[in-house]
Amino acid sequence: MTSSDAPAKASPARARLLEAASRIFYSDGIRHVGVDRVIGEAKVTRATFYRHFPSKEDLVLAYVERRDQEIRSAVTEAFRTSTDPKDLLIMMMTGIGSEICRPGFRGCAFINAAAEYPESEHPVRKAVRAHRSWFSQTVLNLVTAAGCADREHTTALLVLLRDGAMVGGDLGDPAAAREQLLLTVSTLLSPAQAGGVVPSPRP
């Protein structure tokens, strides 16, 4: 990015476009939402849209990356509240449980985006993989610091629990999915010895 690009990327119009797209893509799906609808809800001109996003695919990628940064920031903030890795793992899963039960929940934004972009080398699919890699590494760091005996296996189970709860909360009873998620996580972590130095999550 050149210095001349910076003001445009930080403009209110771009922010409105991304906010509108994030809301609509999540609620209604990506492929079925056209550029005109995003432009209309963001109250910008078509020329303004294409000045910030050369194509719809660029907007979709920005949407996925925005959600990724929101979650990373939330986790970083949580790391400031405790140094106990077991508590932080439960805090992360409790946050996921709360998300499942919020009004308008429609599943995992990353799983949904990946389903609409099956091509393995598509930039959107790569962005989804980058987020999942970060999440898995963060969980692994905490599992290791908590002293779990089989850290790789425990990490894989926690990631699968997260994915299953997201799908279950969308397709079934959100409260039941949250309850089962937290109960299973608590049982899974009960033998672990909490303590140790918690590594900071990568930004």
User: For 10-65, how does the pLDDT look when each residue is reduced to its tens digit (9 = 90+)?
Assistant: 699 999 999 999 999 999 999 999 999 999 999 999 999 999 999 999 999 999 99
Q: What's the rounded Cα separation, in Å, for the pair 68 and 64?
A: 6
Residues 6+ apart with CB under 8 A from 124: 57, 60, 61, 64, 113, 114, 116, 117
Calculate the CA 107 to chain-centre distance.
11
> pTM value?
0.87
Q: What is the pLDDT of residues 117-173, one digit of tens each?
A: 999 999 999 999 999 999 999 999 999 999 988 899 999 999 999 999 999 999 999
pLDDT of 114 strictly over 60: yes
Contact 97, 182 (CB under 8 A): yes
Q: At what angle do helices 151-171 and 123-146 cross, to 10 degrees?
A: 130
Query: Of the candidates 106, 126, 127, which has an alpha carbon nearest to the alpha carbon of residue 25?
Result: 106
Q: What's the rounded Cα separation, in Å, for the pair 186 and 184?
A: 5
DSSP assignment string, 67-127: HHHHHHHHHHHHTTT---HHHHHHHHHHHHHHHHTSTT--S-HHHHHHHH---TTSHHHHH
44: its two tokens: 């910008």
Confidence band, pLDDT 50/70/90 cuts, at residue 4: very low
Query: Of the candidates 46, 80, 76, which has an alpha carbon nearest to the alpha carbon of residue 201?
Result: 76
